[in-house]
Amino acid sequence: MSTLAARIRQRREQLNLSQEELARRAGYRSKSSINKIEKGINDIPQSKLEVFARALDTTPAYLMGLSSADLPAPPPGFEPLPEMARVPLVGSIACGGPITAEQNIECYIGVPSAWHADFALTCHGDSMAPAIRDGDIVCIRMQPQVEQGEIAAVRIGEEATLKHFHRQGSTVMLLADNTAVCPPMIYSGAQLAEIQIEGKAVGLCRGL
């Protein structure tokens, strides 16, 4: 078995992926193709190496068996990328008036593993600007509670929103950064039964 085949299998097992899941991520129709690649029966075209690296949350250099010492050092003033993890991008969340949060997984994205994120959401609206802008991807760690004032993904009935979470006695307030766009959202009494914290915002991804 070649180093490439062995590392693909090893990395897949580290991520607890089935051959079917890797096939889907890499654009193959069935697990039989992955099985043949891992056994060294079929070779991977050079054009597919980057695809496998992304699917396995690693680099082509790792799959080819190059050690970190063999990789070029980053230029002066730059830092190497942190260890990354793959999380599902699962639809959208409102940063203005709440919108229905779509739960279908759109794709998988790489984020720093130190965030310990469980999933990511694309934000719409400007109520959390300038810290969080329309189109930003926010990474969420699933947890049922957050500290006072932390940014949380909060489900309200069948909808969801991203706001600072505050609780005062029997009243919950969801506060936006941009109050001109979104005034405080206040819930008390029987309304509290409709509110559920989905998780805490732990990271932000933004394109240039």
Catalytic status, residue 163? yes
Q: Is the pLDDT of residue 202 over 80?
A: yes
Catalytic status, residue 113? no
Confidence at residue 2, expressed as pLDDT on a 0 to 100 scale: 61
Distances (CA, A) of 76 to 40, 61, 73, 79, 84: 39, 21, 9, 8, 22
Arithmetic mean of pLDDT, 181-189? 93
Backbone angles phi and psi of 150, in degrees to 5: -70, 155
Confidence at residue 176, expressed as pLDDT on a 0 to 100 scale: 96
Condensed to tens digits (0 to 9), the pLDDT of residues 66-102 reads 645 445 566 777 776 677 787 888 877 767 655 444 4
Q: How many residues does the chain have?
A: 208
Pinpoint the residues of the chain covered by CATH 1.10.260.40: 3-70
**First-last CA distance in the chain:** 42
Average predicted confidence (pLDDT) for the chain: 84
Condensed to tens digits (0 to 9), the pLDDT of residues 112-149 reads 888 999 888 888 899 999 999 999 999 999 999 999 99
Residue of 163, 170, 188, 200 with catalytic role: 163
- The DSSP secondary structure of 178-196, one letter per residue, reads -TTTS--EEEEGGGGGGEE
Tell me the CATH number of domain 3-70, given options 3.90.1640.10, 2.160.20.10, 3.60.15.10, 1.10.260.40. Answer: 1.10.260.40
Pinpoint the residues of the chain covered by CATH 2.10.109.10: 84-205
Per CATH, the homologous superfamily of domain 84-205 is: Umud Fragment, subunit A (2.10.109.10)
Residue of 33, 39, 92, 127 with catalytic role: 127
Please give the DSSP secondary-structure letter assigned to residue 121: E
The model scores a pTM over 0.85: no
